[in-house]
């Protein structure tokens, strides 16, 4: 078993007033004097640096969830920040792993006369609530947020209906209002409807505090977006400008570069320093190097 020092940059408007500790994580300002973004540090025992990073990130998520609630401030997904892993034992060459995240250049999404005409068709359809949810889905940073908004959009498009049921105790029939399931199946298709509402019950998990797994949310979210926007809405309103765009730049994104590195000055690596020097032609504190096979 090895011991690793992990440092992670967390993108957020939060300005930490000094360093504090919670659940083994030391959290302080990434820049000084106090400015936005946080630097999170923790020592992790693991068999290799990959396992150490997994543990660090997995256990950090609920900590950041709680801080976001008490600070009442957005904390962006962890993928948006750089990370460093440094083995504290059996590391005479002082090598470390670093992954640096840089906000990528935005590639514009062009719109023309057809796009505006299609927007007019949607506005004429009086689907304002569903469109708000779809915009939220497009703006979403996380897969679960996106999926929740897509489900809300689909149910808004389906509308409501009277649902008949029977009392298990006395056998009397009664009615209550709910989502129009027939219309919802028409929007999503039978297979996708079953996957969301019956097989995975992911809608129930999202609405009632269950644990929706991220890979599952990503996969279902992609299918829902295509079905609602490129299928149902395109056909219903005759939206000629809508075509499938692979890897569409629907928002801001990040580019990543990673490598094994070696310190060339005294002291331990600092993510702040490494990130500042990463794209420089001459690094003063580190040099690029290969990680040992068992790192």
pLDDT tens profile 242-293: 888 776 555 667 788 999 999 999 989 999 999 999 987 778 899 999 999 8
At residue 49, does pLDDT exceed 60?
Answer: yes
Q: What share of the chain is helix, strand, coil (3-state, %, to 5)?
A: 40, 25, 35
At residue 175, does pLDDT exceed 80?
Answer: no
Q: What pLDDT score was predicted for residue 160?
A: 84
Q: Is residue 243 part of a domain?
A: no
Q: What pLDDT score was predicted for residue 103?
A: 77
Q: Are residues 195 and 152 in the same domain?
A: yes
Q: Are residues 155 and 185 in the same domain?
A: yes
Q: What pLDDT score was predicted for residue 50?
A: 96
Q: What pLDDT score was predicted for residue 262?
A: 93
Q: Are residues 10 and 73 in the same domain?
A: yes
Q: Are residues 122 and 208 in the same domain?
A: yes
Antiparallel, parallel or unpaired: β 95-103 and 83-87: antiparallel
**Overall average pLDDT of the 11-30 stretch:** 90
Q: Are residues 100 and 141 in the same domain?
A: no
The domain tally of the chain equals 2
Helices vs strands, H then E, count in the chain: 10, 10
Q: Is residue 174 part of a domain?
A: yes
Share of the chain above pLDDT 90, in %: 54
Q: Are residues 6 and 91 in the same domain?
A: yes
**Overall average pLDDT of the 29-55 stretch:** 91
Q: Are residues 119 and 208 in the same domain?
A: yes
At residue 150, does pLDDT exceed 90?
Answer: yes
The 8-class DSSP code of residue 141 comes to S
To the nearest 10 degrees (0 to 180), the angle between helices 143-158 and 214-225 is 40
Q: What pLDDT score was predicted for residue 215?
A: 85
- Pick from 71, 84, 73: which is nearest to 9 by CA? 84
Copy the structure tokens of residue 81: 């920040």
Across the chain, what does the average pLDDT equal?
A: 88
**Overall average pLDDT of the 88-103 stretch:** 93
Q: What pLDDT score was predicted for residue 163?
A: 74
At residue 201, does pLDDT exceed 80?
Answer: yes
Q: Are residues 77 and 120 in the same domain?
A: no
Q: In the structure, what pLDDT confidence band is assigned to residue 107 with cuts at 50, 70 and 90?
A: low
Domain that holds residue 21: 2-105+252-288
Q: What pLDDT score was predicted for residue 176?
A: 64
What end-to-end distance do the CA atoms of the chain give, in Å? 11
All residues at 6 or more sequence positions from 63 whose CB lies less than 8 Å from its CB, including other chains: 22, 23, 25
Q: Are residues 264 and 197 in the same domain?
A: no
Q: Are residues 99 and 118 in the same domain?
A: no
Q: Are residues 154 and 260 in the same domain?
A: no
Q: In the structure, what pLDDT confidence band is assigned to residue 138 with cuts at 50, 70 and 90?
A: confident
**Overall average pLDDT of the 37-52 stretch:** 96
35 vs 22, more confident: 22
Range scoring the smallest mean pLDDT among 41-45, 121-125, 247-251: 247-251
At residue 149, does pLDDT exceed 70?
Answer: yes
Copy the structure tokens of residue 224: 């829902």
Copy the structure tokens of residue 155: 């149910």
- What is residue 269's three-state secondary structure? coil
Cα–Cα–Cα angle for 113, 116, 120, rounded to 5 degrees: 135
pTM of this structure: 0.74
């Amino acid at each position: 078993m090895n011991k690793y020092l992990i440092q992670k940059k967390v993108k957020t408007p939060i300005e930490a007033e000094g360093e504090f500790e919670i659940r083994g994580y030391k959290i302080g300002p990434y820049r000084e004097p106090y400015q936005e973004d946080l630097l999170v540090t923790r020592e992790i025992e693991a068999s290799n640096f990959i396992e150490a990073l997994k543990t660090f990130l997995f256990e950090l998520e609920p900590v950041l969830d709680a801080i976001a609630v008490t600070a009442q401030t957005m904390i962006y997904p962890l993928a948006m920040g750089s990370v460093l892993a440094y083995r504290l034992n059996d590391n005479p060459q002082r090598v470390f792993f670093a992954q640096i995240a840089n906000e990528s250049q935005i590639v514009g999404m062009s719109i023309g006369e057809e796009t505006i005409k299609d927007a007019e068709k949607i506005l004429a359809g009086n689907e304002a609530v569903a469109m708000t949810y779809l915009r939220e889905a497009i703006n979403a940073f996380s897969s679960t947020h996106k999926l929740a908004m897509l489900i809300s959009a689909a149910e808004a498009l389906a509308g409501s209906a009277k649902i008949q049921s029977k009392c298990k105790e006395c056998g009397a029939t009664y009615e209550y209002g709910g989502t129009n399931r027939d219309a919802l199946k028409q929007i999503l298709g039978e297979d996708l409807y079953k996957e969301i509402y019956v097989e995975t019950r992911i809608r129930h998990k999202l609405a009632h505090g269950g644990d929706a797994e991220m890979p599952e949310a990503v996969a279902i979210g992609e299918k829902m977006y295509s079905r609602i926007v490129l299928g149902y809405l395109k056909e219903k309103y005759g939206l000629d400008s809508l075509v499938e765009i692979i890897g569409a730049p629907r928002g801001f994104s990040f580019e990543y570069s990673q490598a094994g590195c070696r310190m060339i000055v005294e002291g331990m690596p600092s993510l702040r320093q490494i990130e500042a020097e990463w794209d420089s032609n001459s690094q003063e504190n580190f040099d690029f190097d290969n990680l040992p096979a068992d790192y």
